[in-house]
Chains A and B, each alone.
Chain A
């Protein structure tokens, strides 16, 4: 058992982190997803990691970095696919919103038993004026387009597993970034003549953020290892636990980061709200906190 990043994995993490810092800094993230961003990620090999011989743990490490940088776009749906691929999961309640519709080359449609594809251009409609996450445009699919079945229940299970893992990884990266933002602010911002991070009321919020992140990260890495080698655990339980804790870490850290930043945390200018809004969006992807808690409970 060697449950920590190998030297190669550390190099992979550092490589993708410096690439994203250089090419997709927050100033560019704030302009939203576009094809040039997708092409750069494609050239970096982000979507072809599996066919290039990397394991799921490696893919998780890369998606953690995408989340830390808050890179927008249908990045999880596009993993292992050709072109910009979006997804519509019919098993999730509420309005059928398709994310990033105007950018999509392909659309996957999931129900309870199978995977289909649809032509995104056959979906009429214009994006909502005021999406919750300004970097995740959504368009209502008023009527379902023509579907072509492309995968059975096994393929669906595999897609949901990879989706839960990579989304969990992305969320853990977000939770980590929120901790870093808060700690940096708490060291810099002064009130009552000293840094607010010296006050226990603020320090303890930050401590809880890092603990939550580390626990979620361990859970997510464990799920990745089980996906790489299913003999080492209960895959369904591992994935559900990972997605549940990653979602909770990102959402709770988003709220805590808002609090640590005080009034600044309620401004458009500070990045915290972009993370928190994305965390809420991603709770609707590949199983929510509640559905995954139910899945874990069903194993008991």
Chain B
């Protein structure tokens, strides 16, 4: 057991540092928060720069444009880009951390060839279509219907919490393909081309006042059967593949970002009780970073350990604790969202962490039942 990075890892780190030092000062200024067209252009431009420099798809297969690098170098990438304050994935989130990994794991060769290189180059932006107004924590109860008609599914229904719905080229869409079996057994996972007739996107205003979320209304949308990922009615298993990425790796970059926020907050802290609390938060984040390294080691040996179930639960609680602390530190500087630093906006944004991607209550059920083997609730 050790924490040593290899010589090759350190070479990778050195090269990346040099590249970031050259590239970051050359970036154009970030666009306004609500200008989605400009934000798409800005975020995908950054993704293209990463791709051209060989820093896109570090864990993805080489034949589809990825780098197939060891997990240690993926961690270094997150450490270094965060330390250098490089841009976050932004509108590329669903493609890079959700749909892309799902297609890598479950897609056909043709689907991989078609989508993966475009996602990595920033040419294709994805949005999400999982939750429904009536299906949140009980996601498998979803009712959006897909009826087979020759080479197409005719899809009708409503989705909510569609991240980047306003600007997505494709959506990852869960539909009910068999209403006559148990709820988990009748679901399929589709790639939804967002330019098809019958799709209406309405932005959803969140506690931040604006947001990357939208509602999606689908009225007899004809989706080619070739857009299905995985077998028909096997979508629940595919969904769990997607969610395992979201709950596992997708939170790693959040974690490194939180460590940066701790460093930003430290100079503002005067009260000894606040300092102690900040030390506490830092210790928790350090520990979650150690747990991430442990998870990565175990995954690279082919057996994801129990820690993979726990990251999101532990991290989201710490991040909110840090958010509470930052507001206490700011006192009345906190009365303006975009006043002093990004602390207030972050406090609002991170209210979602214990809800999105499975509420903390659902996560505790999963840990209790799948990790500890406690009996299920009666249904």
Contacts and interface: CB of A to CB of B under 8 A. Distances in A.
Interface stretch (B3-11, B17-25, B93-101, B205-213): B3-11
Interface string A36-55: 00000000000000000000
Q: Please provide the 10 A-B residue pairs with the shortest distance between their CB atoms, ordered closest to farther.
A: A297-B279, A219-B287, A241-B283, A203-B368, A296-B279, A218-B291, A222-B290, A300-B266, A293-B279, A207-B367
B146 interface: no
B295 to A, nearest CB: 9
A1 B4 contact: yes
Nearest to A202: B374
A10 to B, nearest CB: 10
8 contacts: A1-B5, A207-B364, A218-B287, A219-B287, A224-B1, A290-B276, A297-B282, A300-B266
Please tell me the size bucket of the interface on B. Answer: 35 or more
A226 interface: yes
A91 interface: no
Nearest to B313: A211
Interface majority SS on B: helix, strand, loop or mixed? helix
Interface stretch (A15-23, A107-115, A227-235): A227-235
Contact of B374 (A197, A218, A219, A229): A197
B283 A225 contact: no
Contacts of B314: 211, 215
B374 A183 contact: yes
Given A204-B368, A240-B283, A300 B373 contact: no
Contacts of B72: 1
Interface majority SS on A: helix, strand, loop or mixed? helix
Interface in A96-142: none
Contacts of B288: 215, 218
A16 to B, nearest CB: 16
B372 A210 contact: yes
B72 to A, nearest CB: 5
B262 interface: yes
A4 B372 contact: no
Interface string A70-84: 000000000000000
Interface in B339-379: 361, 363-365, 367-369, 371-378
A214 interface: yes
Contacts of B372: 179, 183, 197, 203, 206-207, 210
Contacts of A208: 364
A198 B378 contact: yes
Contacts of A221: 1, 290, 294
A290 B296 CA distance: 31
Interface of A: 1-6, 9, 57, 179, 183, 186-187, 194-195, 197-200, 203-204, 206-208, 210-211, 214-216, 218-219, 221-222, 224-226, 228-229, 231-233, 237-238, 240-242, 244-245, 290, 292-300
A187 to B, nearest CB: 6
Contacts of B296: 3
B309 to A, nearest CB: 8
A3 B71 CA distance: 12
B2 A215 contact: no
Contacts of B305: 4
Given A195-B375, A210-B372, A215-B284, A226 B3 contact: yes
A222 B294 CA distance: 9
Contact of A200 (B282, B283, B364): B364
B307 interface: yes
B2 A229 contact: yes
A211 B293 CA distance: 16
A53 B290 CA distance: 25
B307 A214 contact: yes
Contact of B294 (A4, A57, A198, A228): A4
A6 B297 CA distance: 11
Contact of B275 (A195, A215, A292, A297): A297
B369 A203 contact: yes
A194 B378 CA distance: 10
Contacts of A295: 279
A221 B305 CA distance: 15
B33 interface: no
A215 B317 CA distance: 13
Contacts of B275: 294, 297
A3 B293 contact: yes
A51 to B, nearest CB: 20
A176 B7 CA distance: 36
A171 to B, nearest CB: 14
Interface in B199-258: none
A218 to B, nearest CB: 4
Contacts of A3: 1-3, 290, 293-294, 296-297
A195 B376 CA distance: 10
B140 interface: no
Nearest to B72: A1
Contacts of B365: 200, 203-204, 207
A3 B5 CA distance: 11
Given A225-B1, A297-B278, A219 B286 contact: yes
Given A4-B1, A194-B375, 15 more contacts: A1-B297, A183-B372, A197-B375, A204-B368, A207-B363, A210-B306, A216-B287, A218-B290, A226-B3, A229-B2, A232-B3, A232-B4, A296-B280, A297-B278, A300-B278
Contacts of A183: 372-374
Nearest to A295: B279
Nearest to A9: B1
Contacts of A237: 282, 286
B377 A200 contact: yes
Contact of B283 (A210, A233, A244): A244
A198 B374 CA distance: 6
Contacts of B284: 215, 245
Given A183-B374, A293-B276, A1 B283 contact: no
Nearest to B360: A204
A219 B377 CA distance: 33
A179 B371 CA distance: 12
B270 interface: no
Given A197-B374, A208-B364, A290-B276, A215 B310 contact: yes
